[in-house]
Amino acid sequence: MEVIIFMLPAFMAALVIAGIHCYLGLHIVSRGIIFIDLSLAQIAALGYAIALILGYHIGDWQAIFMALVFAVIGSLLFSYAQPLERRIPLEAVIGIGYVVAAAAAVLVLSFSSSGTEDFEKLAMGNILVVSWHDITKTIVIYAGVGLLHWFYRKKFMEATFNRACTRSKLWDFLFYLSLGVVVTYSVAIAGVLLVFSYLVIPAVCALIFCDTIKTRLICGWLVGFIISALGLLISFKFDLPTAPAITVCFGILFIVIALAGLKMGRYNGNGACR
């Protein structure tokens, strides 16, 4: 019982993160911009890094505001980088954004006496110490993002799945902005590593076996919920770092699902899911 009480806040936080991340992850994977979440998460982490050397903590509103500012800037850059696709892949721009933000965060944190510890905190997070107040605040923010996507679902779906049409910079920006807001709060709770894992791996697992948005969402949520519980339990039982434990569990499940999909003939000749 004591274990359940101790792990319950972390598990609830993981469920909340998995819920919104799986939906956004389906958009990301379908758009073919796999590393956009990792890049935006790292850009938000750069904002947190600046806040840390200014004397704030990651959970302070000043630090969150700073991270949001950087996330908005990143969202603007990626939404207006679309014309570059005529000459270079958008993934190249996203990769440049990630590596520059990561290098800048290292440089910024080099001015801190606890720079290595702070960088590890941003990368790995510490979901085990999340409070109910943080969970409640995150639920409210994610609910707002969810309502935005629900009310304008046709626009967002068209921008993602109707590749024949010319995407509007406005809807691209709103998508990247909503993603930036989500990852800003997620990084504060779970770190960059888990943010990428929750956004991509459940969505990819769902794409292998499911053919509709509804079934993909349900499958992705099940993957996220089950692996969250398993990873947290393994982390607690064997005294392992939480973020790597959950991520490795995600990776093992992905390998199993990918091999099962291959065995069942779920791929065509180009390696894509049916």
Max mean pLDDT among 56-70, 76-90, 162-176 falls in 56-70
If we measure between CA atoms, which residue out of 84, 75, 50 comes closest to residue 65?
50
> Highest mean pLDDT: which of 19-23, 33-37, 192-196?
19-23
CB 189 within 8 Å of CB 138: yes
pLDDT in tens, 28-51: 988 888 888 889 989 999 999 999
Q: If you search the block for the tokens 């982490």, which residue do you land on?
A: 45
For residue 159, give the nearest of 28, 70, 59, 252 by alpha carbon: 28
End-to-end Cα, the chain, rounded Å: 44
CA torsion sign for 72, 181, 183, 18 is negative
Q: Report which DSSP code applies to 81.
A: T
Asked if pLDDT for residue 23 goes beyond 90, the answer is: yes
The SS3 of residue 198 is helix
State the chain's mean pLDDT as an integer.
Answer: 86
**What is the predicted pLDDT for the residue at 167?**
58
- Which is nearest to 46 in space by CA: 124, 145, 132, 118? 118
β-strand partners of 273: 267
Q: Is 48 exposed, middle or buried (0-12, 13-18, 19+ CB in 10 A)?
A: buried
Q: Return the domain boundaries, the chain.
A: 2-263
Position 141 confidence tier, pLDDT thresholds 50, 70, 90: very high
**107-116, 152-161, 187-196: lowest mean pLDDT where?**
107-116
CB neighbours of 221 closer than 8 A, spacing ≥ 6? 18, 19, 22, 202
Q: Could you give the CA distance from residue 257 to residue 272 in angstroms, rounded to a whole number?
A: 14
Model confidence at 256, pLDDT cuts 50, 70, 90, reads: very high
Q: Nearest to residue 246, comparing CAs of 189, 206, 207, 208? A: 189
Which residues 6+ apart lie within 8 Å of 57 measured at CB? 63
Residues 42/102, Cβ–Cβ less than 8 Å: yes
Tokens coding 231? 């990873």
Q: Residue 230's CB: how many other CB atoms inside 10 A?
A: 16
Q: Which CATH class is domain 2-263?
A: mainly alpha
Q: How many CB atoms lie within 10 A of CB 164?
A: 4
DSSP-derived letter for residue 168 is P
The pLDDT confidence band at residue 101, using thresholds 50, 70 and 90, is: very high
Tell me, rounded to whole angstroms, the distance of Cα 213 from its chain centroid: 19
pTM equals: 0.85
